[in-house]
Amino acid sequence: MQEKFIDEGSIKKIQYIINKLNVRKILLVTGKNSFSLCGAKNKIDSLLNNISIVKFNNFQSNPSLEDAERGIKLLRENNLDLIIAIGGGSVIDMAKMINIFAAQKDNDLMSYIEDGSLIEKKGIPLVAIPTTIGTGSEATHFAVVYVDKVKYSLAHQFMLPDYAIVDAELSCNLPKNIVAASGMDALSQAVESYWAVKSTNESKKYASEAIVLALGSIKDAVKGDKKARMVMSKAAYLAGKAINITTTTAPHAISYPITTYFGLQHGHAVALTLGHFFIINSSANDENVIDPRGGKYLESVMTKLYIMFDVSSPLECKNKWYAIMREIGLVSDMKRIVIITEREIEKVIDGINLQRLRNHPVLIEKKQLYKLLTS
């Protein structure tokens, strides 16, 4: 069971955790420049001044298995009591992987990535502190890892951070483009979770609350409004809680190869295609609806989403989605960003995670993906 702290100044709860667990030595996993720029370094230094710290930030923005191996070596060699991860989704995912891999007896890490059921032991306590507004990783039991440029998702209940500290003060210095992209990631997670095949009443409760909060705050959050960033931080946490139950769907699946091959920020890459799925999902029939609850159920789900977006049709919802992107400074036309040649389109399609497509409520075929990426 995760213990969470969501409020301004909640980073001070680190002292409570340290005292509770009688911590003596910490692995601190952070980004490189972002750790200082967001103000986290100054806050952490003052909170941990009597604690022995081993630092790890030597990894790429898209965490690789080789990066994780270096962190595992640090953890195993230093007899540590606690891991604190402070940063975006990549930082928190890296900390999760280091922690879970280091606890296992087998050093064949790829075997755990391919089959999470092989994981037998929980790692040491882990504190996740997001500094971007949108990762949701602090609330999930899975992590993204890249092996030879192919994205894998490692999942196990033991990977859920023991503590989540969501402090909007750490996002005050974030550039607008980061807030925009990560904010759209949170909103995308919530929308995808709401229509996902694996959705439940509980996940839809988290997702719907996240959608309403995000829609009401994302524009002001990008402008730098402190209160709006706190609301977006809460929305991101709730979206993470939702996908922790459901996982994501087609827009996320498509986004990973776009990010890998073209370097587009993850949240921006997800948002680029998501708007089109309001049309795709609403045009489905009983023949291509995958969700076992059927076409009528999916129709009711999409109708509820339109109400949340304050629109009355799939086309209006699509248009509103891309209007939000443009208003917060994200280019919404894919042709202006990445997809150029047929070969590049094929490369993206070949890199799509098919497992995520099976969680999408509607059957998505290759010809649809091609049309979507050239639209």
What torsion do the CA atoms of 363, 366, 368, 371 make, to the nearest 10 degrees?
170
| Residue 372 confidence class, pLDDT cut points 50, 70, 90 | confident
Q: Are residues 235 and 361 in the same domain?
A: yes
Instruction: Report d(CA 75, CA 82) in Å as an integer.
Output: 10
Q: Are residues 132 and 275 in the same domain?
A: no
Domain ends where: 170, 197, 224?
Answer: 170
Q: What is the pTM of this model?
A: 0.91
Cβ partners under 8 Å of residue 158, min gap 6 = 100, 103, 119, 121, 122, 123, 141
Q: Are residues 296 and 310 in the same domain?
A: yes
Nearest to 234 by CA among 302, 187, 290: 187
Instruction: Report d(CA 163, CA 42) in Å as an integer.
Output: 21
Q: Are residues 91 and 160 in the same domain?
A: yes
Instruction: Report d(CA 221, CA 172) in Å as an integer.
Output: 10
Q: Are residues 213 and 337 in the same domain?
A: yes
Residue 311: the pLDDT is 98
Q: Are residues 270 and 305 in the same domain?
A: yes
Q: What is the percentage of the chain residues whose pLDDT exceeds 70?
A: 98
Q: Are residues 275 and 156 in the same domain?
A: no
Q: Are residues 370 and 231 in the same domain?
A: yes
Instruction: Report d(CA 276, CA 317) in Å as an integer.
Output: 9
How much is the average pLDDT of 324-348?
A: 85
Q: Is 6 helix (H, G, I), strand (E, B) or coil?
A: strand
Residue 339: the pLDDT is 63
What would the pLDDT profile of 7-36 be if each residue is shown by its tens digit?
A: 888 999 999 999 999 999 999 999 887 776
Distance spanning both ends of the chain, measured CA to CA: 44
Which has more pLDDT, 354 or 157? Answer: 157
Instruction: Report d(CA 217, CA 267) in Å as an integer.
Output: 16
| Residue 338 confidence class, pLDDT cut points 50, 70, 90 | low
Q: Nearest 5°: CA angle at 61, between 350 and 73? A: 110
Which helix (H) or strand (E) element contains residue 211? Answer: helix 201-223
Q: Are residues 287 and 158 in the same domain?
A: no
Burial 358-373 (b: 16+ CB within 10 A, else e): ebbbbebeeeebeebb
What would the pLDDT profile of 91-145 be if each residue is shown by its tens digit?
A: 999 999 999 999 998 888 999 988 888 999 999 999 999 988 888 899 999 998 8
Range of 138's domain?
A: 3-170
Query: Looking at the chain, how many residues does it have?
Result: 375
Residue 62: the pLDDT is 78
How much is the average pLDDT of 207-222?
A: 97
* Structure tokens, 333: 């036309």
* Structure tokens, 156: 């196990």
Helices (H), 22-123: 34-37, 40-47, 65-77, 89-103, 109-114
Cβ partners under 8 Å of residue 70, min gap 6 = 56, 58, 59
CATH number at residue 60: 3.40.50.1970
Domain ends where: 121, 143, 170?
Answer: 170
Q: Classify residue 131 by its DSSP letter.
A: -
Q: What is the percentage of the chain residues whose pLDDT exceeds 90?
A: 65
Instruction: Report d(CA 184, CA 327) in Å as an integer.
Output: 12
> Is pLDDT of 340 > 80?
no
Tally of domains within the chain: 2
Q: Are residues 65 and 159 in the same domain?
A: yes
**Residue 251 one-letter amino acid:** P
CATH number at residue 179: 1.20.1090.10
Residue 151: the pLDDT is 75
Mean pLDDT over all residues of the chain? 91
* Structure tokens, 273: 């295609």
What would the pLDDT profile of 276-309 be if each residue is shown by its tens digit?
A: 999 999 998 888 999 999 999 999 999 999 999 9
What would the pLDDT profile of 31-77 be if each residue is shown by its tens digit?
A: 887 776 666 777 888 888 889 999 999 888 778 899 999 999 999 99
Residue 344: the pLDDT is 84
Render 250-267 in DSSP notation, one character per residue. HHHHHHHHHHHHH---HH
Render 165-184 in DSSP notation, one character per residue. EE-GGGGTT--HHHHHHHHH
Render 272-337 in DSSP notation, one character per residue. HHHHHHHHHHHT--TTTB-STTHHHHHHHHHHHHHHHTT-SSHHHHHHHHHHHHHHTT----GGGT
Domain ends where: 150, 170, 190?
Answer: 170
Residue 35: the pLDDT is 77
What would the pLDDT profile of 238-251 be if each residue is shown by its tens digit?
A: 999 999 999 999 99
Q: Are residues 243 and 353 in the same domain?
A: yes
Residue 9: the pLDDT is 85
Q: Are residues 232 and 317 in the same domain?
A: yes
> Is pLDDT of 318 > 90?
yes
